Amino acid sequence: MIFLEFTAPQVDYVRLLPFLIVLGVACLGILVEAFVPRKARFVTQTALAILGLAAGLGATIWQWGDGGRGLADPASITGGVTGTVLVDGPVQCFWAILFGFGLIAAILFAERRAHAGASAFTPMAAAIPGSRLESEASEAGLVHSEVFPLALFSLSGMALLVATNDLLVLFVAVEVLSLPLYVLSGLARHRRLISQEAALKYFLLGAAASAILLFGVAFLFGYSGGFSYEKLAHAVSFSTMGDGILLAGMGLVAVGLLFKIGAVPFHSWVPDVYQGAPTPVTAFMSVCTKVAAVAGLLRLFYAGLGGMRWNWQPILAGVAILTIIVAAIIAINQTDVKRVLAYSSVAHAGFVLVPVVGAFTLQSGLPEGQAGSVASVMFYLVGYGLATIGCFTVIMLVRSQGREASSLDAWAGIGRRYPLFGVVMVIFLLSLAGIPLTAGFMGKLAAFMAAWRGGYWWLALVAVLGSIIAVFIYIRVIQVMFFREPAEGSDPVELVRPGVPAVIVLALCLIGTLGLGLVPGPLLDAFQAASSFLIPAGA
């Protein structure tokens, strides 16, 4: 007979505040849909989302110091909902990164001028593409302002995934993260058939990946007899169950998370979805999903499966190498700028796995003033995110007959016709390529150094070689933009004047990319100071 006992959990609401703000604002957004008049909805939702994310970001930074203080006294930091969510230094850093990029993406969602006064989203998702209903909805100026609450729900799932210390919550967070994204990727205004196809592909593959993740969670539960990472870490040392269950569980969970990161061989959805989804949504998910999934993977593998590191390090190293090389090679063949960037994003998934494999942390004896794996992963993701969002913003502006012209042929010579735009795009591309003086270079340097110090010098060497190959991805785009003449008789491509939101986003990304490239120290130090996972006693 099992007796049911319920003890009220101790919840530290202040520590959870940033997450609660974002989730609360998302719920508020639903009410706005119901009660605010249609004409005022888009503006209201925009303001609400931006203010909410700014508040979440502010609350995270306000509490930033707490993580460091709590480290001195681990007993005081078992904050949040005891056990299932644990807010420590790395979590606060990842929250700041997530909400910061979420804020930039929300601003990008609001861009209307680039789309000739309409938003980037379809006026009526339920209407059949090309039907009368659709054109009537378009003329009536309807707009899906639900995109903002959807993005916020997705962000709160990401925030949960970053902070979770529990296998079941890990699964729920992955689903909360994904479900809104499936909808968002099917909402493009133009080329809706492609957009719907992207939504279907993303949904079917994503659902299968979550099922695989869940099956892995079930095995890990069977192995450790509980869901918390501490129990798992304890069981890795002392369990009497067979290792087969543990290895199966670890492998399946890794597959689920690597799918979200977009690493080879689980990358096949990335180019299709990135190309089909509305460009602001692509910018949002290419950055935020990757940040959240990498953070979730880090936490599970360091805090929960740290004792198994000799088993997972070589496998992840193989995945990283495969990802870098396969993505760099396939990207050369692409004929669409969005697809090129999608493969670039896959390649970056490989690069970011390099320091993860290195597993060089405070616990493993990190000297003062050197960035470990966790801090370098954070810095790398910031550099990658700034440049990627910047690139997608530029893509939004290159149009032909009112639609985005993202084929590489259409981009021929565009850098020479619009020099300012050309230079901005080149800076973002060079940052993605990892050329010195950009954030991307500092990120790669920190990341590879961490892997080197962690004993994976050969992986760091391969990654350096891989990044040299990957430079060709970006050189090719630059070459098309500046040194190729547009084909005769092709549609004229123009660069539309960006509205205020797009200008803000471009400026933020540009300042961030160059600023972090020139002065990386302060941010790297801040991440490093807060980069130690709290592994509760008993682990």
Partner 1 sequence: MTSMYVILAVILFAIGLAGFLIRRNALVVFMCVELMLNAANLLFVAFSSHYGILDGQMAAFFVMVVAAAEVVIGLSIIVMIFRSRRSTSVDEVTELKG
Q: How far is the CB of 54 from partner 1 (least distance, A)?
A: 29
Pick one of 7, 116, 333, 538: the residue that binds partner 1 (CB under 8 A): 333
Which of 145, 228 has the CB closer to partner 1? 228
Shortest distance (Å) from residue 386 CB to partner 1: 26
Say whether 203 sits in a helix, a strand or coil: helix
- Whether residue 315 contacts residue 296, with contact meaning beta carbons closer than 8 Å, is answered with no
From the list 46-54, 63-71, 195-203, 371-379, the region that binds partner 1 by CB under 8 A is: 195-203
What is the crossing angle of helices 192-224 and 167-184, to 10°?
A: 180
Judged by CB under 8 A, the stretch of 170-178, 257-265, 317-325, 446-454 that binds partner 1 is: 170-178
Tell me the window of 13-21, 175-183, 440-448, 486-494 that interacts with partner 1 (CB under 8 A).
175-183
Which among 120-128, 378-386, 414-422, 494-502 is the span making contact with partner 1, rule CB under 8 A? 120-128
Residue 334 binds partner 1, judged by CB under 8 A = yes
Instruction: Quote the least distance from Cβ 107 to partner 1, whole Å.
Output: 26
Interface with partner 1 (CB under 8 A), residue from 64, 221, 472, 482: 221
Cβ atoms of residues 122 and 192 within 8 Å: yes
Q: In the bound complex, what is the minimum distance in angstroms from residue 409's beta carbon to partner 1?
A: 14
Considering only residues 277 through 316, tell me which ones interact with partner 1, judged by CB under 8 A: none
**What backbone torsions phi and psi does residue 81 show, to the nearest 5 degrees?**
-75, 120
Tell me if 332 contacts partner 1 by CB under 8 A.
Answer: no
Amino acid at 196: Q
> What's the CA gap between 289 and 281, in Å, rounded?
11
Q: Does 476 bind partner 1 (CB under 8 A)?
A: no
Q: d(Cα 449, Cα 462) in Å, to the nearest integer?
A: 13
CB of 339 to partner 1, least distance (A): 6
Helices 167-184 and 147-163 sit at what angle, rounded to 10 degrees? Answer: 160
* N-term to C-term CA, the chain: 30
As a whole number of Å, the CA-based R_g of the chain is 23
Minimum CB distance to partner 1, residue 332 (Å) = 12
Cα(18)–Cα(252) distance, integer angstroms: 31
Nearest by Cα to 324 from 479, 478, 460: 460
Q: Which is nearer to partner 1, 242 or 521 (CB)?
A: 242
Q: Which of 272, 293, 328, 390 binds partner 1 (CB under 8 A)?
A: 272
Q: Identity (one letter) of the amino acid at 323? A: T
197 binding partner 1? (CB under 8 A)? yes
Structure tokens at 392: 């997608």
- Residue of 96, 98, 183, 375 interacting with partner 1 (CB under 8 A): 183
| Binding of partner 1 by 203 (CB under 8 A) | yes
CA–CA separation, 175 vs 212, rounded Å? 12
Please name the amino acid found at residue 287: V
194 forms part of the interface with partner 1 (CB under 8 A):
yes
For 295, the token pair is 């953070």
Q: Which two tokens stand for residue 25?
A: 């604002």
Stretch that binds partner 1, among 67-75, 199-207, 351-359, 504-512 (CB under 8 A): 199-207
User: And the tokens for 459?
Assistant: 């992986």
Sign of the CA dihedral with 421 first, then 272, 407, and 278 last: negative
Q: Which residues of this protein are in contact with partner 1, per CB under 8 A? A: 2, 4, 125-126, 128-129, 168, 171-172, 175, 179, 182-183, 186, 192-194, 196-201, 203-204, 207-208, 210-212, 214-215, 217-219, 221-222, 225-227, 271-272, 275-276, 333-336, 339
